[in-house]
Amino acid sequence: MFTRSWKFAVAGAAVLGAASALTAPAAQAEDGVLKIGAPLALTGGLADEGKKQQAVWSLWLDKINAQGGVEVGGKKLKVEFVEYDYQTDGKRAGQLAEKLVTDDEVDVIMAPFGSGHTKIIAAVAERYQVPMLACVASSVSVYDQGFKYLFGTLAPNTGMTESMVGYFKEKFPAVKKVAVYGRDDVFPKSMATALADSAASGGLEVVYNELYAVGTMDHSAAISAIKAANPDWVYMTGYTQDLILGRKQMADLGITAPVITMVTGPAYREFTEGLGDLADGVTSSTWWHHATAYTDTSGAWNSTAAFYKDFVAAYGSDPDYVHASCAAAADVLVDAVQRAGSTDKQAVRDALAATDMATFYGPIDFGDNGMNQGREMPIIQVQGDEIKVLYPAAIADADLKLID
């Protein structure tokens, strides 16, 4: 009996010793390095989006480190990303964020794609008081939790829908009835709700306002009901696969509304490729499109065109708002660290709160809740093979085209 207990004790000590030997080296923070932690969805349902973030940060990092890093308080800091794949699993995202803070000792966290997963990681960042930049989360519900360490480069959904209702009323005065059909998921739902509210307060009649469940593989019942309500404007939100299916079924079942808006469909090339001619005339609002031409900007790129050129040269495809917003978030971070004069978390957090920066992605100025309040969101439309910017007037390059 004594012998067995003794053996267990030795075995237990050996296991504990091995475990601490494995974890000890990682626990030391490095000097002269700005460490950015990024839990990313590199596999699973959001893998495409996670890979976009990874790709653009790699491009950004090459550009920064080619200049020898960033100058902070008179000395050069190297920038390093620590990335983990959370496999599109929210729970795992939270665990990995915790690992990034406690194990890898990162100076700041970059949030992954989507409001849902950003919310989970924001709670971890807040608990450990680590500054966090969210580049692909736009739902106000993420930011209205009173968190002090969370900052987002996308602007609130509501601003987007109000300007859209105003624009369509001006350009298409015959618009009276709108049908709203949204995916029952954090971001698409908040956009659909915001649009229905903005339309109603803008004097339009909301003739259909429903959500569809995540995993819906057929929209014929809803689209038949929308057809019966005969709207002038159909507004649908969802992810690209939902929107491709939805637009196709609208055409199949004979929806004839002159304005069809899909958020954020046309912002992605796969939407237009997956729909072919059916994409023509579909409008959308987006946080950014490479057709928006900002110049004299600070950060890694001095204009939208310069970013676009570098991105296309590196990847052979067009960047979308995920790429742009995430690269701009990295620019904002560097700017804040430089103003703070160190990587001290509290100082960086305070510097982030005071950000007012013109980037290739557009102006960034965080409001009290941490969201970017500095931008007017563009309205875009597929016209033939091109994406045209309809709004705001300062960067517009086309007029609204009604669908025949």
Site residues, another protein (CB under 8 A): 43-45, 47-48, 51, 181, 184, 210-213, 215-222, 224-225, 228, 239-241, 244-245, 248-249, 251-254, 270, 273-278
| Closer residue to another protein, CB minimum distance, 211 or 332 | 211
Torsion 198-201-207-208 (CA) sign: positive
User: At its nearest, how many Å lie between another protein and the CB of residue 156?
Assistant: 24
User: At its nearest, how many Å lie between another protein and the CB of residue 398?
Assistant: 24
Tokens of 184: 């029952």
In DSSP notation, 215-270 reads T----HHHHHHHHHH--SEEEEE--HHHHHHHHHHHHHTT---SEEEEESGGGSHH
CA dist 229 → 180, 191, 207, 266 (Å): 11, 21, 6, 25
User: At its nearest, how many Å lie between another protein and the CB of residue 304?
Assistant: 24
Nearest-CA neighbor of 37 among 90, 86, 87? 86
User: At its nearest, how many Å lie between another protein and the CB of residue 211?
Assistant: 5
| Closer residue to another protein, CB minimum distance, 1 or 228 | 228
Residue 237 backbone dihedrals phi, psi, to 5 degrees: -120, 155
Burial class of residue 165 (count of CB atoms within 10 Å of its CB; 0-12, 13-18, 19+): buried
| Closer residue to another protein, CB minimum distance, 122 or 278 | 278
| Closer residue to another protein, CB minimum distance, 268 or 287 | 268
CA distance 250 to 222: 10
Q: State which H helix or E strand residue 212 sits in.
A: strand 205-212
User: At its nearest, how many Å lie between another protein and the CB of residue 279?
Assistant: 10
User: At its nearest, how many Å lie between another protein and the CB of residue 215?
Assistant: 5
User: At its nearest, how many Å lie between another protein and the CB of residue 151?
Assistant: 28
CA–centroid distance for 62 within its chain: 22
| Closer residue to another protein, CB minimum distance, 48 or 98 | 48
| Closer residue to another protein, CB minimum distance, 227 or 349 | 227
| Closer residue to another protein, CB minimum distance, 15 or 221 | 221
Strand-pairing partners, residue 185, are: none
The C-alpha torsion from 98 through 103 and 106 to 110, rounded to 10°, is: -30
Beta strand pairing status for 33-40 and 108-110?
parallel
Q: Are 116 and 89 in contact (CB under 8 A)?
A: no
| Closer residue to another protein, CB minimum distance, 87 or 373 | 87
User: At its nearest, how many Å lie between another protein and the CB of residue 253?
Assistant: 5
DSSP 377: P
Residue 70 backbone dihedrals phi, psi, to 5 degrees: -115, 145
Tokens of 311: 């991105």
Burial class of residue 140 (count of CB atoms within 10 Å of its CB; 0-12, 13-18, 19+): middle
User: At its nearest, how many Å lie between another protein and the CB of residue 198?
Assistant: 21
Tokens of 48: 């495409």
User: At its nearest, how many Å lie between another protein and the CB of residue 96?
Assistant: 18
Rg (CA), the chain: 23
